[in-house]
Structure 1
Amino acid sequence: MSTSTLQLLQAAFLQSWNAIVITDAKGLQVEFANPAFCAMTGYTMEELQGRTLRMLQGPDTDRAVIEHLHQCLNEARYFEGTATNYRKDGSSYLVHWNISPVRGDDGALTHFISVQQDVSAYIQSERKNRLLARALDAASDPVMLTDAAGRIIFVNTAFSHVTGYGADEAVGATPAVLRSGLHDEAFYSALYRSLAEGRDFRATFVNRRRDGSLFHAEQSISPVCDERGQVTHYVSVSKDISERVSKEQALLDAATRDPLTGLHNRRGGEKILAEAQADARKHGRPLSLLVCDIDHFKRVNDRFGHPVGDRVLRDVACMLRLAVRSRDAVIRWGGEEFVIVLDSCTEARAAELAERIRGRVDAHRDAEVGALTLSMGLATLLGGETVQQLVGRADAALYDAKRGGRNRWSVARPGSGD
């Protein structure tokens, strides 16, 4: 080997970033150690020379690793492992090292060379990452992590429990698997705009589980950025609030629903009517109102009793619901009086509906009461008219129908409710 080659090898040994140490093959005593090894252990070359590396072991050194090391050395085989070593000052560090046998020209074993790295920071980082992963998985609320393209790369156990999607099903998919179809494009536009601007997005989502059932989630989605500020991932943390929403809805229903018929009660109906009037004004759409009253209902209660009267109210409520469109609101206004709010409905179409309802009720026969009839007043919103004026005109038309012989409907005249 030329002098220049030997000089190059010596320079590489001394300048290597990795710690390198050479021992003899018999006593395993240190013969050479480079500056990186000395810096890692805290020992000088003079302190190391002639001693074995057993001096670096301590109470936390893994005995199984050392036993495997001795076996490899005894058999002159390659060794690789990780264990805890101790510096001169007593502090510990995690070292990953390998040892290779060195043989002379005659093939006889003469030395061992070991290349080592202090991996304490790496191992601690790995442990921290595993701890964070375990912590996220142990969290009671659903957690989902996606890449920058929106592909799911992690979900915790709570996510699987709430949504029904296991990690193997969710990873690689997109959050779109949870879409219920109940949010409009404006909702998602706000979401995408917020994330594109690097801001969190918080909202209550109505999501769909794997089995098709819906649940409400209070959810926050946040962009995760790298050191340069570039978005690399998105993290979603949510809370299943379905039970709370159900309780709130139950309270709302109790306050705005009639317990006997299941219809909106007057309190809820007044709110619906006010909103419908405002919407009609804003969009220039027609709004019609039917006020309905069961004829001679007092006689039903007096003759057959209130349980029968309650059944009649439920039956009429059911007929009214079935007669109108899904977007129309049927309200129990009080006693035997009902109000039907007909959004985007002209007077002519409302009159057709009134006749259809009258005929349906007239054709109905109760097992005890027999024939029932309904009288109705119809009013269509006029320009500048208030809700109270609209209801007043419909109510006046109802009494016109009553005076006209009942079992009929009447159209309100302008100013008739004043």
Structure 2
Amino acid sequence: MTNKNFKLMFFTYFVIFGILVAFFGSFVGYNMNLIDIKKNIDKASQEVGLIKKFDYLKPDIEKFDEIVKALSTNTSLEEYITSPDKQKRNNLTNVFYAISMSNNFIMQARFISAEGKEIVRVDRKNKYDKPFIVEESNLQDKSQRDYFQIVSHMKEAKIWHSRIDLNIENGKIEVPYKPTFRVAQPIIKDNKFVGMVIVNLLASEMISGLKKSTSFDHFIIDKDGYFITHPNDEYSWSRYTNSSIRLYDEFPLEAEKILAGENKGETFYSFQLNDILDNEDKAILILKLKVAYQSTLFSSNIKTSILIILLSILVSIPLAFFASIAPSRLQKSLFLANHELRRFADIIDKYVITATTKTNSIITSVSTAFAKRSGYSKEELIGQKMNIIRHPDTSNELYSELWETIEAGKNWQGELKNLNKDEDIYYLEQNILPIKDGNNRIVSYMAIGNDITAKKEVERLSEIDKLTGIYNRRKLDEYMESEFNRAKRYRQPLSFMILDIDHFKNINDTYGHPTGDSTLQTLAKILTDNLRKSDIVGRYGGEEFLIICPETDKNKTALLAEKLRACVENTLFNDINNMTISIGVAEFEGENTVKELLSRADRALYQAKHNGRNCVVIG
């Protein structure tokens, strides 16, 4: 074979190689672009969802809540309730009218008496019209409406939100549809319901900002899968109209995931709205990538890949010609690649929390990030077992499950609570992978961690009552359910006690709310200092505290309650000197539910109040 033929042969080989590389590179590039596209779509969905939720919806809800609070606390209402007459009713009507004038989203503002009669009502037909005062002869009896039944039985003067539904007048859905959202607050005087303020809002205006974007179709559903809003208006309000379309029709394969609370699927991204709306709907905002937008993204990716293939083929021809005379360039490329690998290895060592252990948990290597987070040097860690950072609170059951998983050759994922060298707590989201040799035998384990300490602290703060530093009602509800189920499963005793500060309103009225807050804080500390480690205490609302006593019958709980009562009675509080508490105790019996057990404790507290306060009553 002549030199010319060799050159032709090698040239041909390199051209063919270049073409193959071009196709392979484009294939890889196409798939990498797909990954980037999906990441960008994920990021865009988060941005859109959070903007809709927190920039559009939340400010509106907070504004409406403030309007109702303002109406509920104005002096004209207080004067009318105290001694109603026509002049005071007129004054109150003027206040409601002025508030309605100030916000064109208000469709209806009313004060309803304790008997369910409309006393004041200001209506507006649409946001472009001025509000008008409804004549007394046209006022209606709302005692049988669901919102009156709910609000009239509320024990606290707090804000209530209705479903987002369609406006009903005289028992029929008003046409054209007027999506309505009601915000109400009961008026409580001397622990008695004396009426309610309720504002009907133009929900179509409130949710219009949630309905559209250039990249996604928007849906809002309630907890049962009915559409509140749908990109096709014909299917909106499916709970109240004749539309048969529900979530399962639009997302047949992923409806269950959405209703179960998953925030991402193959065809959807979802965002829970109930933390803002706080109503019976348990509404969920769903984003679905628009078909046209998706097609544009993928079409662009395909065109880019084809262009890369063509350019690569054209470039491969001259490169093939010079390939045989460029060994030095290849060497330089290898050197640069090796340098980049070392650089990335250094980055991983510095920023990624990793450790490698033998099968007996002896540490063989750790990253700089691991050593820094644990507070130990690498020299102090290598040769030690991984339990050097184990927190004593971590259950043996968790570690047993971890070892069973990795010893079976499977990856383990979970959260671990750890202690650093200074005995400070930190949390890692861990992935532990078995490393196998050529014979498929496990020879070591690699742990890759993500520091989630800040996230766990945020979660902890969400469970704590801001004023007293003890558990809030939401966390107490979780504990009540879990302890109740445990007591029922293992047939162990369980008791609740509810305690209330005697004459707390007088403390606030006489000494002011700062003193009232200080009193609540001192009481929380007394309870915490005098309870057993197994007891769970939290602020259940206002001046009311709940204590859960696992594996404790009512008699032992009553003894503990008496101890607490005496401690409070003998404590000197700032400004007020002495105060007392009343306590109701109840024990789980038979087939009680959590609600029934709580109700019995509450009735016992009421009896303690009736008996003269400063005492303990077993229910």
Residue 385 of structure 1 and its aligned partner are, at CA, apart by 0.8
The amino acid across from 1:329 in the alignment is: I
Mapped pair 1:182 → 2:393:
yes
Mapped pair 1:199 → 2:422:
no
Are 1:138 and 1:157, in contact at CA under 8 Å, matched by a contact in 2? no
Give the match for residue 403 of structure 1: 610
Give the match for residue 375 of structure 2: 164
In the aligned structure 2, how far is the partner of 1:218 from the partner of 1:281?
33
Tell me, what secondary structure is at the counterpart of 1:212?
coil
Give the match for residue 596 of structure 2: 389
In the aligned structure 2, how far is the partner of 1:208 from the partner of 1:173?
15
Give the match for residue 355 of structure 1: 562
Give the match for residue 509 of structure 2: 302
Residue 313 of structure 1 and its aligned partner are, at CA, apart by 1.6
Residue 244 of structure 1 and its aligned partner are, at CA, apart by 2.4
Give the match for residue 22 of structure 1: none
Tell me, what secondary structure is at the counterpart of 2:515?
helix
Give the match for residue 265 of structure 1: 472
Alpha-carbon spacing, 1:273–1:147, altered in 2? closer, same or farther (3 Å)? closer
Residue 135 of structure 1 and its aligned partner are, at CA, apart by 4.0
- The superposition leaves residues 375-411 of structure 1 with CA deviations (integer Å, 9 ceiling, x where unpaired) of 1111111110112211222222222222222111111
Mapped pair 1:138 → 2:347:
yes
In the aligned structure 2, how far is the partner of 1:408 from the partner of 1:292?
10
Mapped pair 1:152 → 2:359:
no
5 Å matches for 1:1-400?
135-139=344-348, 140-250=351-461, 252-253=462-463, 257-400=464-607
- The superposition leaves residues 107-155 of structure 1 with CA deviations (integer Å, 9 ceiling, x where unpaired) of xxxxxxxxxxxxx9xxx9xx97x98676444312022223444433222
- Where does the alignment leave 5 or more consecutive residues of structure 1 unmatched? 1-88, 94-119, 413-418
In the aligned structure 1, how far is the partner of 2:542 from the partner of 2:387?
48
Tell me, what secondary structure is at the counterpart of 1:370?
coil
Tell me, what secondary structure is at the counterpart of 2:371?
helix
Structure number having the greater helix percentage: 2
Alpha-carbon spacing, 1:246–1:149, altered in 2? closer, same or farther (3 Å)? same
- The superposition leaves residues 88-118 of structure 1 with CA deviations (integer Å, 9 ceiling, x where unpaired) of x98979xxxxxxxxxxxxxxxxxxxxxxxxx
Tell me, what secondary structure is at the counterpart of 2:565?
helix
- The superposition leaves residues 263-291 of structure 1 with CA deviations (integer Å, 9 ceiling, x where unpaired) of 22223222221222111101111111112
Q: Superposition RMSD on alpha carbons, in Å?
A: 2.6
In the aligned structure 2, how far is the partner of 1:232 from the partner of 1:289?
52
Tell me, what secondary structure is at the counterpart of 2:556?
helix
In the aligned structure 2, how far is the partner of 1:148 from the partner of 1:300?
64
In the aligned structure 2, how far is the partner of 1:135 from the partner of 1:309?
58
Are 2:434 and 2:444, in contact at CA under 8 Å, matched by a contact in 1? yes
The amino acid across from 2:451 in the alignment is: D
Residue 165 of structure 1 and its aligned partner are, at CA, apart by 2.4
Give the match for residue 43 of structure 1: none
In the aligned structure 2, how far is the partner of 1:193 from the partner of 1:216?
22
The amino acid across from 1:241 in the alignment is: I
| TM-score where L is the length of structure 2 | 0.44
- The superposition leaves residues 64-100 of structure 1 with CA deviations (integer Å, 9 ceiling, x where unpaired) of xxxxxxxxxxxxxxxxxxxxxxxxx98979xxxxxxx
In the aligned structure 1, how far is the partner of 2:401 from the partner of 2:340?
34
| TM-score where L is the length of structure 1 | 0.63
Are 1:141 and 1:240, in contact at CA under 8 Å, matched by a contact in 2? no
The amino acid across from 1:249 in the alignment is: R
Alpha-carbon spacing, 1:136–1:188, altered in 2? closer, same or farther (3 Å)? farther
Give the match for residue 32 of structure 1: none
Identity across the alignment (%): 32
Residue 296 of structure 1 and its aligned partner are, at CA, apart by 1.5
- The superposition leaves residues 198-220 of structure 1 with CA deviations (integer Å, 9 ceiling, x where unpaired) of 22222212222222222111221
Are 2:515 and 2:574, in contact at CA under 8 Å, matched by a contact in 1? no
Name the larger-Rg structure.
1
Tell me, what secondary structure is at the counterpart of 1:154?
strand
In the aligned structure 1, how far is the partner of 2:398 from the partner of 2:342?
31
Are 1:219 and 1:238, in contact at CA under 8 Å, matched by a contact in 2? yes
Are 1:293 and 1:336, in contact at CA under 8 Å, matched by a contact in 2? yes
Aligned length: 289
Alpha-carbon spacing, 1:324–1:223, altered in 2? closer, same or farther (3 Å)? same
Are 2:519 and 2:574, in contact at CA under 8 Å, matched by a contact in 1? no
